[in-house]
Amino acid sequence: MEQSTPRAKIVQNFPAYGVSWSPSGGDTGKLLAPDDVFGDSEGSWDGVESEGGIALLKLRQGSKTQVSQATAGLSGLTTQCHVPHQSPRAQRAGDSVRRQLTLAAAAGIKAVIFYSDNLHFLEFNPGQDRDLLPTTSVDGSEADLLLQDLAAGPVVIHVDLEVRLVRTETFNIIATTPGVTSTHLIGAHLDSVPSGPGINDNASGVAVLLETALKRAGDRRNPWRFCWWGGEEAGAQGSSRFVRELQASGGIDRIKGYVNLDMAASPNHVISVYGNDQGLEGLYTEYFQDSQQPWVREDVSVGSDHRPFMAAGIAVAGLGTWGPHQVKTDEEHALFGGTAGEPYDPNYHSSQDDLANVSWSALATCAAATYAANRAVTE
């Protein structure tokens, strides 16, 4: 999904799960938002020149949903991603969503972009929901930017969605200290997207994890289990299966926390910590405070391998080199250098995500912090 007016930018950086595919070449139209923001009343589109438009609609929280067993996927302009089984923070097409889409279609809308304060993607069953409009989603911060642009003047959006049914075969590598019952896990994903070599995303996280494991190898009381996941780009398939097997065996109750390493060397980096547990996040933030290393906090999302652990009720934290915004802010530039107004990694999911386009200093910072965080947990 791409915004071409008033300025060119990609506004979809999160997994986009769709209903039906766009026509060949996609749809381009004016971005439209009804006065009631939801677009689910009979008069929502009255007085709006909506024919051929792209609708930006807010999702009602608590909407009745229907569970889908689909393993469908969608690739857009810049990403390839797949629908995971029982994804957290995903809304499936229930009666409320169907009404919004049906009314939009009746008004001549060609595609719908949903948003809410805590939404990162929508999930639909392409077999059951193929009668609905091509649909994708953005999070609340992206929606705020679009609404600001819309208030200032016309916004033109191009949406090109493709539904794929994909079977993913992958594997995990797990390293545990012999004779120790692991209470904490730390992981990074091994795979990349087909369009690029994946050096920042995620050979960087893999390297940090491997370096940490090698340094901790001599500690026979180490409570950490080191995990290299497969299938993250296909919907966190490897880590999701691991969690399901832990739940089936009863081992999930022994896990006190999971730390995720993803994209540890972005060229226009910030040092970013995220999570849903202050104690686990503190393994990193206390180190940064003690070493006078700047850092920013990123809201925990569903975009990586911490997702299935979080859904299972396990405390999670993570380290990365992107930030809470689409591009680096002036404040972040003052803290970390680099270029304000530019993406943290302009080579994300592209053929340019190679060794020539990473920040070695960011990688070293993430490695030092992860080793310190790892050592801080003892049993």
Q: Are 341 and 328 in contact (CB under 8 A)?
A: yes
The string of pLDDT tens digits covering residues 339-360 is: 999 999 999 989 999 999 999 9
Residues 139 and 190 in one domain: no
Regarding whether 259 and 157 lie in a shared domain, the answer is no
* Pairwise pLDDT comparison (36 vs 92), residue with the higher score: 36
Is 108 in the same domain as 233?
A: no
Check whether residue 347 and residue 320 sit in a common domain.
yes
Q: What is the Cα–Cα distance from 186 to 227, expressed in whole angstroms?
A: 6
137-164 pLDDT, tens per residue? 777 777 888 899 999 989 999 888 776 6
Same domain membership, residue 264 and residue 208: yes
Considering 165, 200, 223, which residue would you say is the last residue of a domain?
Answer: 165
3-class SS at 30?
Answer: strand
Greater model confidence, 299 or 100 = 100
* Residue 117 CB neighbour total at 10 angstroms: 11
Residue where one domain finishes, among candidates 143, 165, 187: 165
- Cα 310–314–316 angle (5° rounding)? 65
Do 146 and 177 lie in one domain? The reply is no
Q: What confidence category does residue 326 fall into, taking pLDDT thresholds of 50, 70 and 90? A: confident
The Cα–Cα gap between 209 and 172 comes to: 14
Confidence tier at 129 by pLDDT (50, 70, 90): low
Final residue in a domain of this structure, among 165, 186, 217: 165
Buried b (16+ CB within 10 A) or exposed e, 139-172: beebbebbbebbeeeebebbbbbebeeeeeebeb
Instruction: Please indicate, yes or no, whether the overall pTM of this predicted structure exceeds 0.75.
Output: no
What's the pLDDT tens digit per position in 190-249?
A: 999 888 899 999 999 999 999 999 999 988 889 999 999 999 988 888 999 999 999 999
25-38: pLDDT as tens digits: 888 999 999 999 99
What pLDDT is stored for residue 130 in this prediction? 62
Residue 61 has a pLDDT of 66
- Are 114 and 204 contained in the same domain? no
Q: Which residues contact 209 (CB under 8 A, 6 or more apart)?
A: 186, 187, 188, 226, 228, 261, 370
Q: Is the pLDDT of residue 97 over 50?
A: yes
pLDDT of 175 over the 50 cut: yes
3-state helix, strand, coil in the chain (%, to 5): 30, 20, 50
* Choice among 71-85, 96-110, 185-199 with the minimum mean pLDDT: 71-85
Name the residue with tokens 């060119």: 8
Segment holding 123, helix H or strand E: strand 121-123
Query: Is there a single domain that holds both residue 246 and residue 280?
Result: yes
Q: Does residue 180 share a domain with residue 114? A: no
> Quick one: 351 and 279 in the same domain?
yes
pLDDT for the residue 253: 92
SS3 375: helix
When comparing pLDDT for 71 and 125, which is higher?
125
Coil, strand, or helix at residue 136? strand
Q: Residue 335: which CATH number?
A: 3.40.630.10
Task: Grade residue 124 by pLDDT with cuts at 50, 70 and 90.
Answer: low
For residue 42, the enclosing domain spans: 2-165
Residues 252-270, mean pLDDT to the nearest whole number: 96
- Convert 221-269 into a string of H (helix), E (strand) and C (coil): CCCEEEEEECCCCCCCHHHHHHHHHHHHHCHHHHCCEEEEECCCCCCCC
- Residue 62, C-beta contacts closer than 8 angstroms, at least 6 positions apart: none
Both 247 and 358 in a single domain?
Answer: yes
Lowest mean pLDDT among 57-71, 120-134, 204-218, 277-291: 57-71
Residues 161, 284, single domain; the answer is no
DSSP summary character for residue 203: I
The domain that holds 136 is classified in CATH as 3.50.30.30
CB atoms inside a 10 Å sphere around CB 266: 30
User: Would you name the residues annotated as active-site residues?
Assistant: 232
Q: What percentage of the chain has pLDDT greater than the value 90?
A: 58
The total domain count for the chain is: 2
> Does the structure show a pLDDT above 60 at 258?
yes
CA 115 from centroid of its chain's CA atoms: 14
